[in-house]
A and B are shown apart, each in its own frame.
Chain A
Amino acid sequence: MLFAIFFLLPPIYMVITSLKTSNEISAATSPWWVYHPTLENYTGLLTSPELSDVLPQLGDWSPCSASR
């Protein structure tokens, strides 16, 4: 159990941080808890123009080809 915590701590912290706003990250509250969870980071990422530039570079996949 101890090793599982050690191995999973950073990815879990990454998930927790991804659900926070910048204000909540810099607030003096527990960094291990999300008080006001938000998906705005994910929606911001999925709608950003940079993503559609990056995805085709990962292979043949692109949002256009996937929808076909």
Chain B
Amino acid sequence: MSNFTFLFKRETFWMVVQQSCIFAITAVIFKALIGFIVAHFVHNIPAKGQRKWRGMLLVPWVIPPAMSCLAWLWLFDPSYSAFNWVLALFGIGPVSWTGDAYWARFSVILINIWIGAPFFMIMYLAALKSVPEQLYEAAEIDGANWWQRMWYVTLPMMRNIIAITALFSLIVTFANFDIVRIITAGGPIDKTHVFATWSFWLGIQGGDIPLGACVSLFMVPILAVAATFILRDINRRGARYDGCRSTAAVANGRAPPGSDTAA
């Protein structure tokens, strides 16, 4: 246990915990938000052009992260940054994308959003396609506006997909390694380290494998708590949905689906 007590006393460890939480939560929220918006846009495109857009928007997710991070590294390059060149056109001074702690955090989160948003988009698009059109027609007959249709039809129908996608993405984002490793290598002054990169730095580069293992193990309880809450919520909703179906079936004089008499 001495490795754990040693870690708990280190200021860097708590900084890594904080940075990992900020990194994962911010990235997942924005990925979900962008994925949701883009999925709606793509869903509303006529079927003929939809495949082309779907393919184009999936590009970031298809390219190996090591390669796309290299492109981002060029875009953020301190000397030849293409972003700084554009900013200079508007009279905005050069931004130290990877040299300043704040901007370095922003950069790694932005890249994570860029890579992960297409996954959310494709999952949400699948969920949107599975919402029965009759529900929208019924809501429209009831006089529901766009916002009410979204709030009372689309979101409840997509809730499970949203929760599962968020959980998967949270796990993957928490354990992210390549983006931080390639873009900032944890710097400046360890400000962008996440669990995986700090664990690698301590265990492999520093040669202290037990300490590195302790850091990576610390992810487990955090992810277990998140997974428990999300999965419990999905199960609870599933049970409530089954209950409603059974009640409706009994009220209609039919055996509830899945019961012995129904078989």
Can you name the residue of chain A whose Cβ is closest to the Cβ of B68? Answer: A10
Measured CA separation A68–B184 after assembly (Å): 46
B136 within 8 Å of A (CB atoms): no
B60:A7 contact, CB within 8 angstroms = yes
- Measured between beta carbons, the chain A residues less than 8 angstroms from B67 are 14
B219 within 8 Å of A (CB atoms): no
With A8-B59, A31-B80: A13-B85 Cβ-Cβ less than 8 Å: no
- Measured between beta carbons, the chain B residues less than 8 angstroms from A7 are 56-57, 59-60, 114, 117-118
Dominant SS at the A interface?
A: helix
Dominant SS at the B interface?
A: helix
A32:B85 contact, CB within 8 angstroms = yes
Number of residues on chain A facing chain B (CB within 8 A): 16
Measured CA separation A66–B132 after assembly (Å): 49
B80:A26 contact, CB within 8 angstroms = yes
B75:A10 contact, CB within 8 angstroms = yes
CB interface residues, B 15-63, toward A, < 8 Å: 34, 37-38, 41, 53, 56-57, 59-60, 63
B34:A14 contact, CB within 8 angstroms = no
Can you name the residue of chain A whose Cβ is closest to the Cβ of B111? Answer: A10
- Measured between beta carbons, the chain A residues less than 8 angstroms from B71 are 10-11, 13-14, 17
Measured CA separation A13–B60 after assembly (Å): 13
Number of residues on chain B facing chain A (CB within 8 A): 25
Partner of A10, one of B53, B56, B60: B60
A4 within 8 Å of B (CB atoms): yes
B82 within 8 Å of A (CB atoms): yes
Partner of B114, one of A6, A13, A26: A6
Can you name the residue of chain A whose Cβ is closest to the Cβ of B117? Answer: A7
- Measured between beta carbons, the chain B residues less than 8 angstroms from A9 are 75
Measured CA separation A32–B75 after assembly (Å): 10
A34 within 8 Å of B (CB atoms): no
Partner of A8, one of B34, B37, B56, B80: B56
Binding site for B on A (CB under 8 A): 3-4, 6-11, 13-14, 17, 25-26, 30-32
Shortest 9 CB-CB distances between A and B: which pairs?
A10-B71, A31-B82, A14-B71, A3-B38, A7-B60, A7-B57, A31-B85, A13-B71, A10-B72
